[in-house]
Each structure stands twice: as structure tokens, then as C-alpha cells.
Amino acid sequence: MYGIGSPCETAPAMPELPEVETTRRGLSPHVLGKRITGVVLRRDRLRWPIPFEIVEQLPGQTILDIERRAKYLLMHTQAGSALWHLGMSGSMRVLKAGTPAGTHDHVDIELSGKRIIRFTDPRRFGCLLWQPLGETHPLLQKLGPEPLSPEFTGEYLYRKSRGKTAAVKSFLMDQAVVVGVGNIYAAESLFRAGISPLREAGSLSKARYEKLAEAVKAILAYAIERGGTTLRDFLSPDSEPGYFEQELDVYGREGEPCKKCGRPLRESRLNNRAGAWCGHCQT
């Protein structure tokens, strides 16, 4: 039972890959090897109904691993995997058992050692679904490579872009091309590579895509190291915000001076997503 109609990526702005990776790294040391003693659902649905397997199959299982795939988190057990998405405003924290629940605390995964994993989601755009053992959930089946993997290269982007007339920023944000490069990091990567977000994807040379792939890898790796960006609704599992926001070159800086040339940054709007870029430094 999957209980889905369309991918979670159809929701508006949300935590991006570094924020989700920060969550995974924050949770893992506290929950790996722990036995799940119970599941408390204060709602029976978030973005979609929560499958019955979450309550029926998770209790008694041991958490073997927490994996990130794109912007999803997979909590693996021998029975199958709980599939989480933070949506626009979701967060996951490890708390002491018995910690009073707030209005937006929708799910508790009770663990051995008197701890709980608590999922909080004020807007309820997140999801908690089930992936049976040995299967790949439909939401994950058509995703592109991870941006920090060896498969993601300039050569790969160049091949995928041939004949594409979409703007390169939209191309880079296509989850079938590469996963997890959302609005913030696409804007920052294109600026570092000196590429206009409005250029047709198919018009760029292999050399320019090599620069872009290098920029994506470097920026995402650094953002993960710094804890991601401080989105309005996002906090990492230890309740600390990310620290990358203060280092953004273009995102959210429309009209402000370019940090390279000093000219005012322009505004672009692609697929209803606003962004800033430099008309002088990005061509």
C-alpha cells in the first residue's frame, strides 16, 4: 500500500538537500540500532494517508539505517522502510519519552532507551509512507543521480541537455535529471559557474556543464558542512538553524549589488520560482 497520487515535489518551497542531509546526520547517531517499541499517530494523514504498515509492521523492528535519497529519508528495518518527506515545514527530532506533544507534533516513533523520534509539521505538506522490503517506492523510481555521486558529471549534464529548450535553471532542478538541486542551490551554482539561469539548456557547451557540475558539488558539500540554509520553517534536529544563508551570493538578493561586479542583481521567475542573478557575470 503506497497511498500516493503525485510526488511530494509538487509542494511549494521546502527544505533542500543539505537540510535533509543535516536531518539524517543529526538523527543517525541517536537512533541506529534502537528497537521501535511503538508508533503514535495523532493524525491519520499528512499530505497523504499514512499507510497501515507504519503502525502494524514498525513496532518490534530495529532501525538498521537511515538513508537519504533526494529529499526523502528512508528508515530501514528488516520489515521494510518508513519513507519520510519534510514537506515545507517538517522537522524530525529525538526527544525524551514523555515529552509533551504540541499542536503540530503529528507522529512519534517510540524507541528503546526511553527516546522518541518526533515528526512535527505545521503545514502538513510532509509525508510518511511505506516501502516494502525489496521494493522501490514509486516516488523514488524515476529519480536522477545524486549530485554528489560519481555519476553526476559535466559530461552527464551535457548529454542529458541535448535538444532541451528549457531554461538551464529549470533543467538543473528537474528531479529526473539530478535530484535535490532546488531553487537556492541551483541559483548559487549557476552564479558560481557564470551561467545565466535563462539560457537554453541545450545551448551550453560541455565545458560550461563541467563548470556547473563542479559548482553544484562544491556548493552542496559546503552547505551540508555548514548545516544547510536557514529557511523560514526549517531547524535541524538539534534545534539549531543552518549557517549557509549568510554566505549566499545571489539567492534572495534581488536588486542588491553583485558580490563580484557590484552591479544590481536581476530578478528571474521560472516555474513560479523567483531567483536573482547577475546579468554581467552570468552569460
Q: How confident is the model at residue 280 (pLDDT cuts 50, 70, 90)?
A: very high
| pLDDT in the model for residue 11 | 36
Report whether pLDDT(238) > 70.
Answer: no
Q: How much is the pTM?
A: 0.85
Report whether pLDDT(172) > 50.
Answer: yes
pLDDT tens figures, 63-114: 999 999 999 999 999 999 999 999 988 999 999 999 999 999 999 999 999 9
Mean pLDDT of 248-274: 93
Q: How confident is the model at residue 12 (pLDDT cuts 50, 70, 90)?
A: very low
pLDDT tens figures, 16-33: 888 899 899 989 999 999
Q: What structural domains does the chain harbor?
A: 8-133 (3.20.190.10), 154-277 (1.10.8.50)
| pLDDT in the model for residue 227 | 72
Report whether pLDDT(275) > 70.
Answer: yes
Cβ atoms of 122 and 133 within 8 Å: the answer is no
Q: How confident is the model at residue 245 (pLDDT cuts 50, 70, 90)?
A: low
| pLDDT in the model for residue 8 | 39
Partner residues linked to 118 by β-bridges: 93, 108
Q: How many helices (H) and strands (E) does the chain have?
A: 6, 10
Burial state string for 66-94 with b = 16 or more CB within 10 A and e = fewer than 16: bebbbbbbbbbbebbbbbbbbbbbbbbbb
Cell of 32: 541506529
As a whole-number percent, the residues of the chain with pLDDT over 90 amount to: 78
104 is in an annotated binding site: yes
| pLDDT in the model for residue 272 | 82
| pLDDT in the model for residue 246 | 54
Among 192, 180, 173, which Cα is nearest to 248's?
A: 192
As a whole-number percent, the residues of the chain with pLDDT over 70 amount to: 88
Mean pLDDT of 120-127: 94
Averaged pLDDT score across all residues of the chain: 89
Report whether pLDDT(1) > 80.
Answer: no
Q: How confident is the model at residue 13 (pLDDT cuts 50, 70, 90)?
A: very low
pLDDT tens figures, 136-155: 999 999 999 999 999 999 99
Phi and psi, residue 215, nearest 5°:
-65, -45
| pLDDT in the model for residue 33 | 98
Please list the active-site residues: 15-16, 71, 273
Report whether pLDDT(230) > 90.
Answer: no
pLDDT tens figures, 173-215: 999 999 999 999 999 999 999 999 999 999 999 999 999 999 9
* Residue 209 to residue 196: CA distance in whole angstroms: 12
